Amino acid sequence: MTPPRDLIVSALLTPASTTQFSDQQWDLLIRQGRRTKLLARLAHALEQADLLKEVPMAPRLHLASAMKLASRQEQSLRWEVACISKELADAGVRVTLLKGAAYVMAGLAAAHGRIFSDVDIIVPKDRLGRTESELMIHGWQSSHHDAYDQRYYRRWMHEIPPMRHVRRGTTIDVHHTILAETARIKVNTTALLEGVVALPGHANLYVLQPADMMLHSATHLFQEGDFEKGLRDLFDLDSLLRFFGDTQGFWEQLVPRAVKLGLTRPLYYALRYTTLMLDTPVPRHVLDAAQIGKPSALVTRLMDGCYLRALRPVHSSTGSWGTWLARFVLYVRSHWIRMPFLLLAYHLGRKALIRPKLHNEEKSIADADLKA
C-alpha cells in the first residue's frame, strides 16, 4: 500500500517544492501545519533552506508568528526546567527529561519549532514519593482530585497524576516507567534508567541515551490511541533517526537495545512507518534486524491499513470514513494492550456510566453558585 503524501509532509521533506505552490495550496498548507503542530517546524525548514523570503506575504506572516511562538515557548521551557532541576536537587532526586524537554535541552534537531504543553520527567519508582512531596513543597498541586483517578494513576499507570504549578500555571508529568504497569509490553525500566546520560553544562539534568530516546518516542506513538499529534510525533522519530544516525555506533546499538528493554515491536513499527511515509534513511541491515519485532503477516497488513491512514494530518482535507475507522481501531487497540480485559471493562464502564453523573453534579453546583 502506497501512503498518500499530504502537503505538509511534502513541504517538510522537500521545502523547495513550496516555491511552486498556488495560493490555494498555501492556504491548505498553513491550515494543515497549524492543525498538526508542525507550522513552526515548517517555518524553520524554510528558513534553513533560505526560502522563507520566497513565501507569499500572507502565509509568511503565519509562519513568522509560529516561529515567534515556538521561540517564546522554548525560553519558557528552559526556565521551567531550571526551576524543576533546582527544586528536586534539594531532595537529591535526579531529573531525567523525556520527549520535547529532552530534545530542547540536548540541542536536538527534533526541538526545532516544537510546541510544548508540559514537562515530562522520569524518576525511579522508589523515589516517586519523595519527588512528589518536594514538588508540592515548591508549589505544585495534583490536577486530579477524584479518588478513582488517583487510584487509577498510582496503581496501574506509568506516572502519577499530572501536577500544575499554582503560580506559574505550568504542568509536569512525573513518570516512573514509560508504559502502564498493566500493559502487555513489560519495559526493563531498570536498564532504561541505568543508561541515562548527564547533560553537559547543566546541574542535575539527564536525558535518555540516543537509542533509548528513540525507542521511548516510538513506544509513545505506537502504544497510544490519540493521533491528534501523531504526524508530529512521526516527524520526531524521523528527526531522531536522521540526527543520531550520523553518530558512531547508533545503528549497531538500536536493535540490541530494543531487545534489552523489551521494545522490539514499537521499534519495528517506527522504522516501518518512518521509511514508508517520510523516506527516513535507515540501513538495510538495521531494517532486517528489526524484523525480530514484526507481528504476523495478517496483523502487519491490518496495522498498515490503520497507521498509513491514522498518521495523516487530523484535518478536514484528509478526513474520510476509512481514516476515521483506522483511528477508531487503533484507539480500541491502545486500550486493549494497556489493560487486562476485566480491568479495562471496569475502567471504561466507570468512565461511561459514573463519571458523567459526577460532572453533571459538579456543573449543577457551579450553576447554583453563579445564580447565588
Phi-psi region of 249 (alpha: psi -120 to 50; beta: other; left: phi over 0): left
35 in a domain, yes or no? Answer: yes
Q: Name the band, by pLDDT with cuts 50, 70 and 90, for residue 370.
A: very low
Q: What's residue 152's pLDDT? A: 66
354 in a domain, yes or no? Answer: no
Q: Looking at residues 190-196, what average pLDDT do you find?
A: 95
At 191, list the grid cell: 536498564
372 in a domain, yes or no? Answer: no
Tell me the pLDDT of the chain averaged across its residues.
88
pLDDT reading at 364 higher than 50: no
Cα→Cα distances 62→21, 66, 354, 358, Å: 16, 6, 43, 41
CA distance 230 to 202: 31
Q: Name the band, by pLDDT with cuts 50, 70 and 90, for residue 180.
A: confident
pLDDT reading at 367 higher than 50: no
368 in a domain, yes or no? Answer: no
Domain that holds residue 179: 7-339
Q: What's residue 347's pLDDT? A: 61
Q: Looking at residues 228-252, what average pLDDT do you find?
A: 95
pLDDT reading at 302 higher than 90: yes
At 319, list the grid cell: 478526513
176 in a domain, yes or no? Answer: yes
302 in a domain, yes or no? Answer: yes
- Which DSSP string corresponds to 179-196? S-TTSSS---HHHHHHT-
pLDDT reading at 368 higher than 60: no
pLDDT reading at 237 higher than 50: yes
pLDDT reading at 362 higher than 60: no
Rg over alpha carbons for the chain, rounded to the nearest Å, is 21
Q: What's residue 263's pLDDT? A: 96
CA distance 93 to 128: 9
CA distance 58 to 21: 13
CA distance 189 to 86: 25
Total domain count, the chain: 1
pTM over cut 0.95: no
CB distance 104 to 77 below 8 Å: yes
CA distance 206 to 199: 5
At 147, list the grid cell: 479518588
369 in a domain, yes or no? Answer: no
39 in a domain, yes or no? Answer: yes
CATH code for the domain of 324: 3.30.460.40
171-175 and 197-198 beta bridge pairing = unpaired
Give every CB contact of residue 68 below 8 A, 6+ residues apart in sequence. Answer: none
List, as own/partner pairs, every contact residues 101-106 make where C-beta atoms lie below 8 angstroms and the sequence separation is at least 24, other chains included. 101/77, 102/207, 102/208, 102/213, 103/236, 104/74, 104/77, 104/78, 105/78, 105/81, 105/199, 105/202, 105/205, 105/207, 106/199, 106/207
At 47, list the grid cell: 528558513
**Which residues does residue 159 pair with via DSSP β-bridges, in sequence order?**
175
Within 13 Å, how many C-alpha atoms sit on residue 315's CB side? 20
